[in-house]
Structure 1
Amino acid sequence: MKGKSCLRTGCFVFVLVPVIIAVLFFAFFRSSHDLPDRFVLRVPLGGSLEERIVESSPVPYLMQDESLSFQDLLFMFNQAAGDKRIDTVLLEIGGVRTSPAKITELRQAIEKVRAGGRKVIAYLHSAEDSDYLLASACDSVVVERGGYLLLDGLKAESLYYTTPLGRIGVTFQAAQWKEYKSGVEPYTRTAASPEYIEQINALLDDVYADYIGYVSKRRGISRDSLESVINNVALVPAAKAVKLGLADGVATIWELKRSIARRISGKEPEENDRLFVQADRYRETLDWPVKASGSEAVAVITLSGPIVRSVGSSAMSVDEGTDVGMLRRSLDAALADKEVKALVLRIDSPGGDALASSDMLQMLDSAAVKKPLVVSMSGIAASGGYMAALAGREVYAMPLTVTGSIGVYALKPDISELARKAGLGRDVVTRGRFADANTVFKPLEGEAYEKFISASGDIYLDFIGKVAASRKMSVAAVDSVAGGRVWTGRQAKQKGLVDHAGGLFAAVRAAQRLAGMDKSKQPRILLYPEQKSWFQMLLEGNPEGIVGSLERMAMRRVLHEVAPQSPYSAMLRMHEMLMRSGEVEMLAAMPCEIIIR
């Protein structure tokens, strides 16, 4: 067997080494060609705009198919704003499905590019509200010939599984702290509670007001006219969009490119015209992520996705989130680097495992004693995500960041009726009065149920105590804004839960100030968790890591094609709990996602 293993390794190396040499030659050949003195930067914008993609493609030639992450876009636009070689930025927008705060921060990045003297054109494929809201930040909006605008407003949708699950014999017991912590409702109710409706309406009011106000101002039309389009027209053909003042032109992408090329160079664009530079190619030529003017650094540590105890332990491990070990490794690396003078914790997380969130806060508090730590909230920093933010000396949030949700809930599945219907027999021998209490085959009763409720209540009290200590508020004051209530960043600032309105770069400047760094110099920015490329994995002798990376990439792409914006995340969590054979889940997590479409 050992001989076969060595033979396989030898074959692997024999096949891969020529590929590596070819790829390195290809990369060198590409990098040796500088960008032209004047060009158009083409940037595709679509999908969920993940905060940061830590795992790069394990196959070099597939990298060009990878979407730019949200942070990629922010850093790229930041540099493009001062790049005099760029004449025009062409944003090809279609299918943007992300949080309101991310759209707002991206709008600000686009405005900075325009302020730097670059012309920014939005090219819209058949677009929805999110696409159009983003496009309205540009100098001009061009709609694809034959396309349309679907401007039908905003909605929030929730699914309730209590009845269909009950029909097959699956029920849930829940502990909810408190009434606004509505994550349990899909399993315990058949419709939304008044508390859930109240906070969803408040969130939609804020987002809708921003949408109508920003677009009407940028396009020079009245708010009433825009609302009339949404309420009476909704589906707007391209030519009509121009008539209504919603767009500036209609063209195919080839017609638009030809028009831009004529304006810049006075001639028709050719098939391999270097005038148009793709975003990934442009990024390769930059000092990434910023062009620093000093050796001192700020570490930006991203906490993205669900907070879990350990990545890979989940039955649904495609969206792995951030675990305690990943955060610890990032903090250790940043603290060990003597040139890192300050830390920025960038949070884009709905929370998750309550105890893992508490562990993360403890680690972050310890790190903040050694180096100044500033928090930057992205699209969402709620529940366990908000708990992590308590370590920040200063906390920044976008006006439409979804935050708060300070609360805890616990779910206990019961499949006793399903087992009875299926004729499943069960015999248990125990030692200890509660040894079989948490099984999925029966509900919690009596003292076991009381302990279930009490345990989640203890975690809630600990949570609001942590908030009170960090935010210098009384426990009663925290409780009045907690109980699971969800706030926008603007509201959270008024409630004392965050300190400042601002995005990632505002937080970096604050970290620089708190660390006493030279304000006149641009610090280096180091991104954590560190991204491992396919080549690093090869050098580490880790072909299995490449295979695993390929599998996860393939699965993500399949899921994206099948359900690019899944409304079933709550059902996936329920499935995970069932796979854990009845383990009680103590969650500090958002009950829903708010996404503009």
Structure 2
Amino acid sequence: MTDVIQDSAANPASYRRPQQKKRKSRWWIPVAIILSVFVFGFFIVAVGLFALFGSAFKSKPVVVKPQSVLRLQVRGALEESASPGPFSFLDSNLDGDVNFLQVITAIKRAKDDDHIAGAYYHSGDIWAGFAKAIELKEALLEFKKAGKFIHAFLEFGGELDYFFASVADSIYMPAEGIVQLNGFGVSELFLKGTYDKIGFDFHVEQFEEYKSAGETYNRKKFSGPARRNIEEILWQRFTTYTNTIAENRNLPPGRVSTLIRRGMYSADELLEHGFIDNILAESEVKERIKKAIYGDSADAADENLNTITLAKYSQSDSYKRSGKPATSAQIAIILGTGMIVPGETGDVSPFSEPLIGSATFSRYLKKAREDKKTDAIILRIDSPGGSVVAADAIWEEIKKTAQVKPIYATMSDVAASGGYYIAMACDTIIAHPQTITGSIGVISIIPNFAKTLDKIGASVDTISTGKSAFFLHPYLPLSSEDKLKFHELSERVYHRFVDKVAEARNMPFDEARELARGRVWMGEDALKVGLVDTLGGFQTAINIVKRRLGVPEDAKVRVRFYPEPQDSFSAFVNFLRYLTESRLNPIGKKSNVLANPISDILPRELQSQIDYLYALYRLSLNERILVALPYKLNIK
């Protein structure tokens, strides 16, 4: 067979023009160019911003000049763990970003710093629990015993501002200054009358008579047990306060008590009764401090008064040198502040109250437990409780950790209900005499809107496989069977709580129940009845752990904090992320003072109480039974 090759040129009829291939679209080229320009532009802007603000985020070395004066002016809440504010890099002189442990540590290290001549306390509208207040006062007294002066200037303030100032060698006020010294009190908002008008009904189960959180929903005033319990706390605190002022100012305790109960406010009045030493402008006070340092010579008049804030001092070389450990022993300190909630602590507004997320806290425990360098663990607890499920999850993790390493609980201002629940799992409980603790009990609140629907003419029809399908239904009246069943469920949780207390404190169930009943105890009373092991503050816990590890009490040890301290750059980035997330997903985000200016005009105590009640409400959406302190006790 012969192959035949046809020539197209020889046979024009058979010729066909070759078909052109379809050109592919180049749409991606302009898109890529635009994206490249955008990315490059973003890079240039980022570089520019870091060039502009980068130096502000860097930790600059701070030199403490000779004859410096430590300026003490802490504003706002003295938190256990305060992160820098989102704009703190703009002004590192702000002491509002230092936390309680930093303040205490700075004062103790300044006591032994030869470049610190003394301290100048300036009122700053500080508010904190009384346990932290006494620890801070004791640190100031130690500073003073080291032979260093303390002078105080009060422009305004209340009992706490004066409490700290009373330690000073001299207290001054401007002529128009106002300090409210008028005793302590607790006020609570009861809304039953309001709810009755709109038909809201709340079924409350409390175990037992002292567990009175539900009274704000189903009563118009404090019950007898709640009133007695709060009065005990108030008078105990008032007695401690007046005795401290009397001792610091060398005044008769009875006279101090009478004058404060009557109320004192003006500089003239406080001077008349010996509560301050003179009425002077701040410039005159500073001149007196200069004379105390340099004397009355002509050369002294030309000297500058070198002051350094707590925030600056904590960045100084002097501060860091004095904190170098002399031993390889390491202690992990896990900070637990705020309401106990399930899951992660979460990304909340930088201006919100802190939370203890069970998953987050358990993760810290696991890290500390598995860290080979860590020899012991301290839990610093400042919590009114919250979710029973979350508290129990943390309790389990603490028990697991206690099998591996010694673990201690040191109670701050509050370690009550769920806060006590997690503390009792530790080897040793250290409470401050003024710690609010106990509140061993549970509270259950069920809202019902059947009367509201009736008032507006609405009706509810149902279809079900049985009447139990509508157990605790908010639109249907609660039956007696529902109430009995819910009572039994709540009682079981309460008994398990008391069982854990009895086991942890090595006492019979009936004895533990007698101490429970939802009753709030002060630390010194909790020691007497066996709910805690010893009294003391944060330093007491450190010293106990040192003895356990065989480390001399005066030796410094390595400390690792959980969560790790946040620098100003991280705070700024997290703030920007929060704003971005709020814009993308405003639903479900908690309001903050930037997004809700109305909160600025509310009293501080009311803001705190609303935040606490809101957290309880959010928890109750998923959990019917809570282990929380009856009230956010804002003692005024």
**Fold-level similarity (TM above 0.5):** yes
Q: Which residue of 1 aligns with 2:326?
A: 293
Counterpart Cα distance in 1 of 2:230 and 2:415: 16
Q: Using a 3 Å threshold, how does the CA distance of structure 1 residues 55 and 276 change in structure 2: closer, same or farther?
A: closer
How much has 1:427 moved relative to structure 2? 5.6
1:463-542 to 2 correspondence within 5 Å?
Answer: 463-533=497-567, 535-536=569-570
Q: Which residue of 1 aligns with 2:271?
A: 242
Q: Percent identity?
A: 26
Tell me, yes or no, if the aligned pair for 1:300 and 1:346 is still in contact at 8 Å.
Answer: yes
1:175 aligns with 2:209: no
Cα distance per residue 1:383-429 (max 9 Å; x no partner) = 00011111222211111111110000111111223334445565655
Q: Which residue of 1 aligns with 2:233?
A: 203
Q: Using a 3 Å threshold, how does the CA distance of structure 1 residues 335 and 542 change in structure 2: closer, same or farther?
A: farther
Q: Please, which runs of 5 or more residues in structure 2 have no aligned partner?
A: 1-27, 584-589
Q: Which residue of 1 aligns with 2:312?
A: 281
1:193 aligns with 2:223: yes
Q: Please, which runs of 5 or more residues in structure 1 have no aligned partner?
A: none
When structure 1 is superposed on structure 2, of 410-419 and 304-313 the one drifting more is 304-313
How much has 1:565 moved relative to structure 2? 2.6
1:307 aligns with 2:340: yes
SS in 2 for 1:593: coil
Counterpart Cα distance in 2 of 1:48 and 1:280: 15
Which residue among 602, 605, 624 is the counterpart of 1:566? 605
How much has 1:59 moved relative to structure 2? 6.2
How much has 1:562 moved relative to structure 2? 3.0
Give the AA of the match of 2:441: G
Counterpart Cα distance in 1 of 2:356 and 2:617: 22
When structure 1 is superposed on structure 2, of 580-589 and 182-191 the one drifting more is 580-589
How much has 1:561 moved relative to structure 2? 3.8
Which residue among 179, 186, 195 is the counterpart of 1:156? 186
Counterpart Cα distance in 1 of 2:537 and 2:607: 29
Cα distance per residue 1:515-557 (max 9 Å; x no partner) = 3345452101222112333545899x99635856999875499
Which residue among 70, 81, 86 is the counterpart of 1:41? 70
Counterpart Cα distance in 2 of 1:487 and 1:222: 29
SS in 2 for 1:183: coil
Q: Which residue of 2 aligns with 1:413?
A: 447
Q: Using a 3 Å threshold, how does the CA distance of structure 1 residues 249 and 456 change in structure 2: closer, same or farther?
A: same
Counterpart Cα distance in 2 of 1:303 and 1:70: 13
When structure 1 is superposed on structure 2, of 419-428 and 405-414 the one drifting more is 419-428
1:215 aligns with 2:215: no
Q: Using a 3 Å threshold, how does the CA distance of structure 1 residues 583 and 294 change in structure 2: closer, same or farther?
A: closer
Give the AA of the match of 1:588: V
How much has 1:165 moved relative to structure 2? 1.6
Counterpart Cα distance in 2 of 1:386 and 1:154: 25
Give the AA of the match of 2:402: A
1:327-366 to 2 correspondence within 5 Å?
Answer: 327-366=361-400
Counterpart Cα distance in 2 of 1:8 and 1:447: 66
Counterpart Cα distance in 2 of 1:452 and 1:269: 77
Counterpart Cα distance in 1 of 2:84 and 2:598: 17
Q: Using a 3 Å threshold, how does the CA distance of structure 1 residues 119 and 42 change in structure 2: closer, same or farther?
A: same
Q: Which residue of 1 aligns with 2:24?
A: none
When structure 1 is superposed on structure 2, of 444-453 and 312-321 the one drifting more is 312-321
1:592 aligns with 2:631: yes
Counterpart Cα distance in 2 of 1:328 and 1:387: 15
Cα distance per residue 1:296-344 (max 9 Å; x no partner) = 2111111101111134599999324111122022212222322211111
Cα distance per residue 1:126-146 (max 9 Å; x no partner) = 232222122212232222332
Q: Which residue of 2 aligns with 1:52?
A: 81
Q: Which residue of 2 aligns with 1:15?
A: 45
SS in 2 for 1:566: helix
Q: Which residue of 2 aligns with 1:457?
A: 491
SS in 1 for 2:73: strand
Tell me, yes or no, if the aligned pair for 2:339 and 2:615 is still in contact at 8 Å.
Answer: no
Counterpart Cα distance in 1 of 2:619 and 2:513: 32
Cα distance per residue 1:458-505 (max 9 Å; x no partner) = 111111111111111111111111100111001000010111110001
SS in 2 for 1:370: coil
SS in 1 for 2:189: coil
Give the AA of the match of 1:474: P
Tell me, yes or no, if the aligned pair for 2:57 and 2:568 is still in contact at 8 Å.
Answer: no
Which residue among 127, 151, 172 is the counterpart of 1:97? 127
Q: Using a 3 Å threshold, how does the CA distance of structure 1 residues 86 and 186 change in structure 2: closer, same or farther?
A: same
Counterpart Cα distance in 1 of 2:555 and 2:595: 40
1:107 aligns with 2:137: yes
Q: Using a 3 Å threshold, how does the CA distance of structure 1 residues 222 and 483 change in structure 2: closer, same or farther?
A: same
What TM-score comes out, normalization by structure 1 length? 0.89
How much has 1:93 moved relative to structure 2? 1.9
Give the AA of the match of 1:222: P
Cα distance per residue 1:567-589 (max 9 Å; x no partner) = 36565565566668965531111
Q: Using a 3 Å threshold, how does the CA distance of structure 1 residues 110 and 573 change in structure 2: closer, same or farther?
A: closer
When structure 1 is superposed on structure 2, of 42-51 and 479-488 the one drifting more is 42-51
Tell me, yes or no, if the aligned pair for 1:303 and 1:327 is still in contact at 8 Å.
Answer: yes
Q: Using a 3 Å threshold, how does the CA distance of structure 1 residues 439 and 137 change in structure 2: closer, same or farther?
A: farther
Q: Using a 3 Å threshold, how does the CA distance of structure 1 residues 80 and 308 change in structure 2: closer, same or farther?
A: same
Counterpart Cα distance in 1 of 2:219 and 2:480: 23
Q: Using a 3 Å threshold, how does the CA distance of structure 1 residues 581 and 509 change in structure 2: closer, same or farther?
A: closer
Counterpart Cα distance in 2 of 1:410 and 1:139: 51
**Higher radius of gyration, 1 or 2:** 2
Q: Which residue of 1 aligns with 2:10?
A: none
Tell me, yes or no, if the aligned pair for 1:144 and 1:238 is still in contact at 8 Å.
Answer: yes
- How many residues align? The count is 592
Counterpart Cα distance in 2 of 1:519 and 1:582: 48
What TM-score comes out, normalization by structure 2 length? 0.84
Q: Which residue of 1 aligns with 2:433?
A: 399
How much has 1:48 moved relative to structure 2? 2.7
SS in 1 for 2:122: strand
Counterpart Cα distance in 1 of 2:339 and 2:165: 30
Tell me, yes or no, if the aligned pair for 1:58 and 1:549 is still in contact at 8 Å.
Answer: no
SS in 2 for 1:45: coil
How much has 1:438 moved relative to structure 2? 3.6
Tell me, yes or no, if the aligned pair for 1:126 and 1:144 is still in contact at 8 Å.
Answer: no
Q: Using a 3 Å threshold, how does the CA distance of structure 1 residues 422 and 531 change in structure 2: closer, same or farther?
A: farther
Counterpart Cα distance in 2 of 1:566 and 1:126: 18
How much has 1:206 moved relative to structure 2? 0.8
Q: Using a 3 Å threshold, how does the CA distance of structure 1 residues 340 and 570 change in structure 2: closer, same or farther?
A: same
Tell me, yes or no, if the aligned pair for 2:83 and 2:97 is still in contact at 8 Å.
Answer: no
Give the AA of the match of 1:35: V
Q: Which residue of 1 aligns with 2:99?
A: 69
Tell me, yes or no, if the aligned pair for 1:56 and 1:533 is still in contact at 8 Å.
Answer: no
If asked which structure has higher relative contact order (CA below 8 Å, sep 6+), I would say 1
When structure 1 is superposed on structure 2, of 241-250 and 382-391 the one drifting more is 241-250
SS in 1 for 2:445: strand
Give the AA of the match of 2:577: E
